[in-house]
Amino acid sequence: MGNSLNKLIRGYRLFSATYALQYEDILKNLTAGQTPEIMIVGCSDSRVDPALMLNCDPGDLFVTRNVANVVPPFADDKMIHGTSAALEFGIRHLKVKHLIILGHSQCGGINARLNPTCVEDSDFLTNWTSLIDVNDKAPDLNECAKHSLLNSHQNCLSFPWIKKKVEAGEMQIHLWFFDITDASIHAYNFDDKEYQPL
Ligand SMILES: [Zn+2]
């Protein structure tokens, strides 16, 4: 346990010694506030870090991550909704131009949806993963992850302010799938209705 924490502390020391120099120009702008043009809904999975895999700088991405990168449907119930609050912040207040929903292969959250017994004693996971739309025609784990992105896209459009921005051409939604086995990304082509290399 100590080794993993020590790795972080060493990483922080390296970061603090180099960050201000490496990002001097960027930091000058960032102290005034953030103006990211891209928002990502990604998975909590430790293998899929959006800023790392997309080689981004501070200020580039507004990110929210949850189990299985799910966008829930809009809910006007006055309850607490973490992912929806992040969407509202990014889209209504920061006015991002692009929303990328980033799925990935070997997703533990998708697996939990397909094999609910592995989380049957959970307090929250079973309810959360019930949001994942399972494609009965393609029970394969990675195919389900890709199908779930399509469902999240539909859920995005159930948010009135997202639908309005998309229809007005003020924002685009992208569905990307990261394959851990070869570090490739495929993007969904809405015209051809298939995932194609990015
Ligand atoms: Zn995942």
For residue 122, report the distance from its CA to the centre of ligand 1, in Å.
17
Contact 176, 103 (CB under 8 A): yes
Per-residue pLDDT, 24: 83
Cα–ligand 1 centroid distance for 162 (angstroms) = 24
**Ligand 1 centre and the CA of 43: distance in Å?**
5
Q: Residue 143's pLDDT is what? A: 94
pLDDT at 137: 66
- Rounded distance from Cα 90 to ligand 1 centre (Å): 21
Looking at residue 117, its pLDDT comes to 87
Q: What pTM value is reported for the model?
A: 0.94
Query: Could you give the dihedral angle defined by the CA atoms of residues 140, 144, 145 and 148, in that order, rounded to the nearest 10 degrees?
Result: 180
Q: Is residue 97 classed as helix, strand or coil in its secondary structure?
A: coil
90 CA to centre of own chain: 12
Determine the pLDDT at residue 177: 98
- CA 72 to ligand 1 centroid distance, Å: 15
User: Which residues, given as ranges, of the chain have pLDDT below 70?
Assistant: 1, 137-138
CB of 46 within 8 A of CB of 107?
Answer: no
The pLDDT value recorded for residue 73 is 97
Number of CB atoms found within 10 A of residue 1's CB: 5
Residue 13, by phi and psi: left (phi above 0), alpha (psi -120 to 50) or beta?
A: alpha
Q: What residue spans define the domains of the chain?
A: 1-32, 34-197
* Domain 34-197 class in CATH: alpha beta
Distance 145 CA to ligand 1 centre (A): 8
Q: Can you give the pLDDT at residue 74?
A: 97
Tell me how far apart the alpha carbons of residues 194 and 3 are, in angstroms, rounded to a whole number: 43
pLDDT confidence of residue 138: 62
Q: How much distance in Å is there from the Cα of 118 to the middle of ligand 1?
A: 15
Distance 165 CA to ligand 1 centre (A): 28
- Cα 22 to middle of ligand 1, angstroms: 31
Residues 116-155: pLDDT tens digits?
A: 888 888 999 999 999 998 877 667 999 999 999 999 999 9
Q: What is the pLDDT of residue 119?
A: 83
Q: Which residues surround ligand 1, an ion (CB under 5 A)?
A: 43, 45, 107, 109
Bridging pattern class, strands 38-43 and 98-104: parallel
pLDDT value for 1: 62
